[in-house]
Amino acid sequence: MCGRFTATFEFSDIRVRWNLDHDLPNYKPRFNIAPEQVSATIPVIVRHRGGNECRLMHWGLIPHWAADPSIGNRMINARAETLTDLPSFKHLLDRHRCIIPADGFYEWRKEGRRKVPMWVHLTKEPFALAGLWDVWRKPDGKRVSGGQTQNS
């Protein structure tokens, strides 16, 4: 599955599609979202108080028990066949599912010695990636919410 994806849509494009309760004023369309980017916040749609809410979260899951937040750079994809077995994911399945709106993702093709990105996308509208999220606390007590995609 993808490590980099795009969210180049305007917020209004997803607000009606997923019946979102509130605006997301800090959202900015992005063409190359990678987990190692410090500012890699992504729009994530969660179920909250009976409605759908969009929040900005860190791209990459940082489990609540992690000692180091850099683990989130590697935790961007979960395999469907191991979701119920791995401690990083199994406790999130019941209450921390989400969808991650995207309008494309990058896959890499080898051409000789170099890798060339190919942008895979739909022509007209955003789609959703299934995801999980968690909240990690920094040593200073601030919360960091992070999400990742699931693939099968």
Q: Position of tokens 């399945």?
A: 93
Q: For residues 18 and 48, what is the distance between their CA atoms, to the nearest angstrom?
A: 13
Structure tokens at 34: 């990678």
Q: 54 an active-site residue?
A: no
Candidate list 2, 53, 98, 111, residue with the active-site label: 2
Give the angle subtended at the CA of 6 by the CAs of 105 and 132, to the nearest 5°.
Answer: 80
Q: 2 an active-site residue?
A: yes
Query: Strands (DSSP E) along the chain, which ranges?
Result: 5-7, 30-33, 41-48, 51-59, 77-79, 97-102, 104-111, 114-121, 127-137, 143-151
Candidate list 36, 81, 98, 107, residue with the active-site label: 107
Structure tokens at 1: 């599955």
Catalytic residues: 2, 107
